[in-house]
Amino acid sequence: MNKELEHSFVSNLEQNQNIVHKICRIYTSDPDSHNDLFQEITIQLWKAYPKFRGDSKFSTWMYRVALNTAITLYRKSKRSINTTNIETFDYRIKVEEYDDEIEQQLRLMYEAVKKLNDIEKALVFLYLEDRPYHEIAQTMGISEVNARVKMNRVKTKLKKILNP
Amino acid sequence: MDELELLKKDWQKQKNVFPKLSYNEIYQMILKKSSSIVRWIFIISILEFVLWTSLDIVFRLNGMHTKIENVDMGLFSIFSSILSYSVLVYFMVRFYQNYRKIKTTDSTKVLMENILKTRRTVRQYIFVSISLFAIVLISTIIYIFSFTDQFQNSTIQGEPPLWVVLVSTLMVVLIFVGLIALFYRLIYGILTRKLKKNYKELEKLEV
pLDDT (average), residues B21-31 = 90
For residue B68, what pLDDT band results from cuts at 50, 70 and 90? low
What is the pLDDT at residue A80?
A: 42
pLDDT on residue B148? 63
AA identity, residue B113: E
Query: Does position B59 have pLDDT exceeding 60, yes or no?
Result: yes
Asked if the Cβ–Cβ distance from A140 to B18 is below 8 Å, we say: no
* Percent of the residues in chain B that have a pLDDT greater than 90, as a whole number: 8
SS3 state of residue B84:
helix
Q: What residues of chain A, 10 to 69, have a C-beta less than 8 Å from chain B?
A: 10-11, 13-14, 17-18, 21-22, 25, 38-40, 42-44, 46-48, 51, 61, 64-65, 67-69
Ramachandran angles phi, psi of B35, nearest 5°: -120, 30
pLDDT of residue B123: 81
User: Do A73 and A136 touch, CB atoms closer than 8 A?
Assistant: no
| CB-nearest partner of B205 from A91, A92, A150 | A150
- Give the pLDDT score at A54: 75
* R_g (Cα) of chain B, nearest Å: 26
Mean pLDDT score, B25-52: 85
Which of B29, B30, B36 is nearest residue A73 as measured by Cβ atoms? B36
Which pLDDT score is estimated for A84? 41
Which chain B residues touch A68 with a CB distance below 8 Å? Answer: 104, 106, 108, 111
Q: Binning pLDDT at 50, 70 and 90, where does residue B6 land? A: confident
User: Is residue B128 a contact partner of residue B135, using CB atoms and an 8 Å limit?
Assistant: no
Tell me the average pLDDT across B73-98. 82
Residues 6+ apart with CB under 8 A from A2: none
- Whether A138 has its CB under 8 Å from any CB of chain B: the answer is yes
What is the pLDDT, as a whole number, of residue B15?
A: 66
Q: What is the pLDDT of residue A79?
A: 43
Mean pLDDT of chain A: 83
Residues A123 and A137: beta-carbon distance below 8 Å: no
**Mean pLDDT, range A10-16, rounded to an integer:** 91
Q: How confident is the model at residue A82 (pLDDT cuts 50, 70, 90)?
A: very low
ipTM for the complex? 0.80
- In terms of CA atoms, which chain B residue is nearest residue A138? B107
* pLDDT higher than 90, residue B138: no
Q: How confident is the model at residue A87 (pLDDT cuts 50, 70, 90)?
A: very low
Residue A119's pLDDT band (cuts 50, 70, 90) = very high
User: Residue A86: what pLDDT?
Assistant: 42
| Residue B193 or A1, more confident | B193
Question: Do B30 and A10 contact (CB within 8 A), yes or no?
Answer: yes
Asked whether residue A133 carries a pLDDT value surpassing 80, the answer given is: yes
pLDDT value of position A20: 94
Which of A9, A71, A94 to substitute to test the interface with B, most B CBs within 10 Å? Answer: A71
Nearest-CA distance B29 → chain A (Å): 6
Of B169 and A144, the one with more pLDDT: A144
Which SS3 state, helix, strand or coil, does residue B31 take?
coil
User: For the purposes of burial, counting CB atoms within 10 Å of the CB of A71, is it exposed (0-12), middle (13-18) or buried (19 or more)?
Assistant: buried
Rounded Cα gap, residues A126 and A119, in angstroms: 11
Kindly tell me if the per-residue pLDDT of A8 is higher than 80.
Answer: yes
**In sequence order, what DSSP letters do the residues of A67-136 get, joined into one string?**
HHIIIII----GGG-S-S-TTTS-----GGGS-HHHHHHHHHHHHHHHTS-HHHHHHHHHHHTT--HHHH
- Per-residue pLDDT, A81: 44
Cβ of A93 within 8 Å of Cβ of B10? The answer is yes
Q: Give pLDDT, residue A106.
A: 83
Distance from CA of A86 to the nearest CA of B (A): 16
- What is the pLDDT averaged over residues B54-73? 63
How far is B199 from B193, CA to CA, in rounded Å?
A: 10
- Neighbouring CB atoms inside 10 A of B44's CB total 15
| Per-residue pLDDT at A104 | 83
Check: pTM over 0.90? Answer yes or no: no
Are A72 and B1 a contacting pair at CB < 8 A? no
Distance CA A2, CA A154 (A): 43
- What CA–CA distance (Å, rounded) separates B197 from B205? 13
- The whole-angstrom separation of Cα A58 and Cα A141 is 20
Is the pLDDT reported for residue B201 higher than 50?
A: yes
A43·B206 Cβ contact <8 A: no
A36 or B1, greater pLDDT: A36
pLDDT digits (tens, 9 = 90+) for B142-198: 777 666 665 555 555 555 666 777 787 778 878 877 887 787 778 777 778 888 888
Is A146 close to B30, i.e. CB distance below 8 A?
A: no
